[in-house]
Structure 1
Amino acid sequence: MTPREKLSLLNYEPPDLGFQVGLSSYLGIVISGLVASFGVAVDVATPTLLGIVPTVFTIVTVHGVVLAKRFSGVAERIGASRWLTLACFSPIVTHGAVLLADVLGALEVPSRLFVTSGVALVFTGVAAAALASMAGNRFVDAVTREDPETTWTWHSSRRWGTENGALVVGLSFVAMAIVLGFASRNWGGGLFWAFMGLFWLLPFLSDDDTWYADADRTSHLPDLRAHDVGIVTDRPQSRRLIPWDDVEDVRLTEDELILERRFLDVRCDRAEIDDPEAVLEGIERARARGTGRPPAPATVDERENGDDLRSRKRSLETS
């Protein structure tokens, strides 16, 4: 059973208060941001806009909370659809087009409109990301209400782990801030955000624990849960579902537990799993329940380990 098929069998309930506030706040930010950009474009006075924009945000947000109660299942439907999730980010296209036109020199944008569009883009992007995350979490919770077959902590066996990935993304944003700052002739702003970004990235450049006080260095690692609809990546603030249709094979090698996918495999360090064979059996049971196929034998894939593993087995048998 696919996640969407299982979702269609559920009885939808009105969204919880948290999602009502999140959805209404998102709509308030989107509409007030467009109003602010339009007002600046038609040269409305700044004091007038400072009175109009907060009023628009308040009205939309309050009415949004009331109206959101009537749309049962809206969070689960958004979270289940990639297109609806992407649609949450569509309002940033308008603000991004204004910034891009100025940076490329296609249009001379007044500095006031440039700043307003930039601020609106940031706030809209953050609100859209928060809404998409909330919807995704509620969708995953809706289709995985039963207890998982097995659970384990994801210690990635890849050379580039989560912290290094965050470092690359962070440095990319710093570089973007510098480029946009210089391109918009706002040198001070570009350098300011670049230094702020570098300061935020300092913990990733350090190997000691002083940046994290007495926190557990493994507390940020996600848990993986095997359900009949797929594998859930469970992080403290977000949950993501990998459907069984996206998993081509599950293998246990000498060093890794591997969930093969079309693009990015999920690779877990076998040494960090308490009972890897039991975890593999649980995964196969959940996969069999979800796909209707009998579970595959839970064996170590010798092809991944080559002749070295086979030779060691022979030496053990002869000794």
Structure 2
Amino acid sequence: MSGNQNTGTAKTAFRLAFAGYVGTLVAGLVAVAISLTEPTRIAVLGAAAVGLLGGALVGIVLARRVRELPIRLGRNWLRRTALPFSATPFGIAVGAALLGWLEFRLIVAVLAVAVAIAGYVVMRLAEARYVDSITDDEPAATWQWEPPGTPKLDAIVLAMWLLLGAANATTGNWLPSIVWIGLAILWVVTSLAEGRWQVGSLGDSPAIHVHDAGLVKRRPYTRSLVRWSDISHVRLREDELVLDRGLFDVRFERDQLADLEAARTEIERHRQSLRNGAPGAP
């Protein structure tokens, strides 16, 4: 797939995800607001549907007109994490419903789960777009990489959550069922985003790139960046390459990255060249 095709696909994916996020967010807000007026279930569903459609249209327009939107959202950790956590107020609304302060908790619960999942997808796509925007230089080094994870174990966890969701649904416990099924969907999305699962030949081969901006972890559908300024030390410990970064160290085991010694040498060489003010240093 060419670079232009990759860019076009990334833009389309972000626009659709952002439209879904804004749509579910607006639908949730409308549903909660309408629920406070003691309406019928049909009225709440209708208002949520209108909010979903209207919000999705607004999201598409924003994503098309504000070209730097994904880069702005993906630029820092706070902006990114605010997206999935925007579902928090709806979770509070579900709690209020359980206490009898709000009706139609199942509708609000479904929308809360949808907002969290859509927000997570937008977060990862925005991060990838931002990383691509600041690493347009040719990588100084590249290594094939196997993202950590056990696909079989992931499949077992997914099956367990789906089973719990189905079991609760058959007994009429709809709220726990929605939560378990939502977790199952989120597990699928995170497995794809983290590169533990891949759909056929779609996406890129996982790899590690050394750029002037930092170390890029390329997954099939997402990218993440570890800035050189965040790394205090690079060391080998038994069969593990460790990039010290405070509480959030970056680790590569030998079954994930075969030539740990070469990776450490190149990373240290590149960091040293940047400290010495080599051309292309950020």
Q: TM-score, normalised by structure 2?
A: 0.71
Q: Is 2:242 aligned against 1:250?
A: no
Which residue of the partner structure matches residue 127 of structure 1? Answer: 118
Q: Is 2:19 aligned against 1:27?
A: no
> What 5-or-longer segments of structure 1 have no aligned partner?
1-14, 202-211, 295-319
The answer as to whether partners of 1:152 and 1:223 remain within 8 angstroms in 2 is: yes
Which residue of the partner structure matches residue 31 of structure 2? Answer: 36
Structure 1 residue 149 displacement after superposition: 1.7
Could you give the per-residue CA deviations for residues 220-260 of structure 1, whole angstroms, max 9, x where no partner exists?
Answer: 99422221111111111221111112211112455333222
Q: Is 2:8 aligned against 1:16?
A: no
What RMSD over aligned residues (CA atoms) do the two structures have, in Å?
Answer: 4.1
User: Which residue, out of 142, 146, 156, partners 1:151?
Assistant: 142
User: Which residue, out of 87, 93, 101, partners 1:98?
Assistant: 93
The answer as to whether partners of 2:109 and 2:175 remain within 8 angstroms in 1 is: no
Structure having the higher Rg: 1
The answer as to whether partners of 1:229 and 1:290 remain within 8 angstroms in 2 is: no
In structure 2, distance between residues paired with 1:108 and 1:155:
49
How many residues end up aligned between the 2 structures?
251
The code of the aligned residue for 2:49 comes to P
Q: Is 2:271 aligned against 1:287?
A: yes
**CA pair 36-101 structure 1, distance change in 2 beyond 3 A:** closer
User: Which residue, out of 105, 108, 119, partners 1:114?
Assistant: 105
In structure 1, distance between residues paired with 2:183 and 2:69:
35
The code of the aligned residue for 1:122 comes to V
Which residue of the partner structure matches residue 50 of structure 1? Answer: 45
The code of the aligned residue for 2:89 comes to T
Structure 1 residue 35 displacement after superposition: 0.7
Which residue of the partner structure matches residue 58 of structure 2? Answer: 63
Which residue of the partner structure matches residue 149 of structure 2? Answer: 162
Which residue of the partner structure matches residue 77 of structure 2? Answer: 82
Structure 1 residue 82 displacement after superposition: 1.6
Structure 1 residue 72 displacement after superposition: 3.3
In structure 1, distance between residues paired with 2:77 and 2:173:
38
3-state SS of the aligned residue for 1:162? coil
3-state SS of the aligned residue for 2:33? helix
The code of the aligned residue for 1:269 comes to E
Could you give the per-residue CA deviations for residues 253-285 of structure 1, whole angstroms, max 9, x where no partner exists?
Answer: 553332222124333334775544433332123
Which residue of the partner structure matches residue 226 of structure 1? Answer: 210
**CA pair 273-240 structure 1, distance change in 2 beyond 3 A:** closer
Moved over 6 A (4+): 195-198
In structure 2, distance between residues paired with 1:191 and 1:63:
31
The answer as to whether partners of 2:243 and 2:251 remain within 8 angstroms in 1 is: yes
**CA pair 19-251 structure 1, distance change in 2 beyond 3 A:** same
> What 5-or-longer segments of structure 2 have no aligned partner?
1-9, 188-196
Q: TM-score, normalised by structure 1?
A: 0.63
**CA pair 63-48 structure 1, distance change in 2 beyond 3 A:** same
Which residue of the partner structure matches residue 261 of structure 1? Answer: 245
In structure 1, distance between residues paired with 2:45 and 2:120:
26
Structure 1 residue 124 displacement after superposition: 0.5
In structure 1, distance between residues paired with 2:214 and 2:118:
28
In structure 1, distance between residues paired with 2:53 and 2:62:
14
In structure 1, distance between residues paired with 2:67 and 2:181:
45
